Amino acid sequence: MTVILFNKPYDVLPQFTDDQGRPTLADYLAIPAVRPAGRLDRDSEGLLLLTDDGALQHRISHPRHKLPKTYWVQVEGVPDEAALEQLRQGVTLGDGPTAPAQARLMAAPELWPRDPPIRYRAAIPTGWIELVISEGRNRQVRRMTAAVGHPTLRLVRWAIGPYTLAGLAPGQWRELAQHEYATLVKEGKHGNLETPRHRGQRAGAGRKVPPGGGRGRRPRSV
């Protein structure tokens, strides 16, 4: 069993093929058989988990298992405590009310520049929210911040359960080590899950994987 942590760049589709020639995961990952566990929109950035285990893929992505996902969200305007409390209590969207979330203001994080950058408007300040949810509705975070009057400008998923982007630049990935699987099982409430043999940690980086693989990658194509 393989589980990959990947820092998905902006404008990359969370899939391996595209008939329109847009950037996909295949431009960064040359690991056979892994598939995304959950999604991350093309216009969002950050942590995406991939695995070659179908049961684990379902367990990670299904909201029933309540694996928390942490987002760093740059929004239009600076939310006040009332707006944050709405997010904490749950807001009503077109497909029903959301579950309560964790929400707090945060200082602007030290992130890589986005390409292209967000639109800058001198007359309208921006703020950053750390938002933790356990659901996975379509464009949920963007709809939640809009519902409280603060449209999302930039969206970065920093963490899924206990796993974060720490040490991963955009386009880079690493494979979970043996001891990290136990935490995944506990956080995701997955029940019994066979612990894989130790695979070590591998890291990969860069665009357009060559046919023979690259540094930190297995020498096979997707």
Backbone phi, psi, residue 13, to 5°: -70, 140
d(CA 48, CA 86): 27
Cβ within 8 Å of residue 163, ≥6 positions away: 5, 47, 49, 176, 180, 184
Closest CA to 43 of 157, 179, 132, 202: 157
d(CA 74, CA 183): 29
Respond yes or no on whether the N-terminal peptide bond of residue 210 is cis (omega within 30° of 0).
no
Active-site residue list = 41
